[in-house]
Amino acid sequence: MRSTWSIALVWGLVLLLIYFGFTQFIAHQYHPQMQISQSGQQREITLTRAKDGHYRLAAQMNGEPVVLLLDTGATAMTINQALAERIGLVKGEQFIANTANGPVQGYQSVLDSLIFGPFEFKNVPIGVVPNLGDEVLLGMNIIKHFDIRTQNNQMHMKLIEK
């Protein structure tokens, strides 16, 4: 009887270690790796490509910490309904967007503040859809303000000065 409990305990510990190791592995894959540099007036963010091939960066939307996924195929920033409610977005005009997964109904809103690295954007048009998941898509309405180059699994983003 004692050896049965010992074996069960060992297997329980092994499974627990596998679980924690896997969650740390996943967290590391999706955790945004961002470096900020400044030379005179020029500010730059350097992002490292995640294991899944995407670029992500840490940000704040109306003071709420989020992780942005750069999506050059998205016309505008897009978030899910739950996050929109949490950060207090006002429901605007409804729309139907054509996505890779087919048409999706959502609504437009305006984000008071978007901050990432040294950059801040005010009154950002944003799309809200019900079932986007946890991803916050950084669309071309923000990306277009940057000079972007990629090299060796890194993306360098410099704000285009007007």
Other C-beta atoms closer than 10 Å to the C-beta of 111 total: 19
DSSP result, 61-100:
ETTEEEEEEE-TT-SSEEEEHHHHHHTTPPP--EEEEEET
> What is the distance between the alpha carbons of residues 35 and 45, in angstroms, rounded to a whole number?
6
Report the predicted TM-score, pTM, of the whole model to 2 decimal places: 0.76
Residue 26 sits in the same domain as residue 37: no
Structure tokens at 6: 């010992």
Residue 22 sits in the same domain as residue 81: no
Residue 1 sits in the same domain as residue 47: no
Residue 76 sits in the same domain as residue 113: yes
- Provide the edge-to-edge strand list for the sheet that holds 34-39: 34-39, 42-48, 154-159, 146-151
Whether 86 and 64 have beta carbons less than 8 Å apart is answered as yes
Could you tell me the residue range of the domain that residue 20 belongs to?
1-30
Residue 102 sits in the same domain as residue 75: yes
Q: What are the pLDDT tens digits along the chain (162 aa)?
A: 567 877 777 777 766 666 565 555 444 445 567 676 666 677 888 999 988 899 999 999 999 999 999 999 889 999 999 999 999 999 999 999 887 778 889 999 999 999 999 999 999 999 999 887 778 999 999 999 999 999 999 999 999 877
Structural domain count of the chain: 2
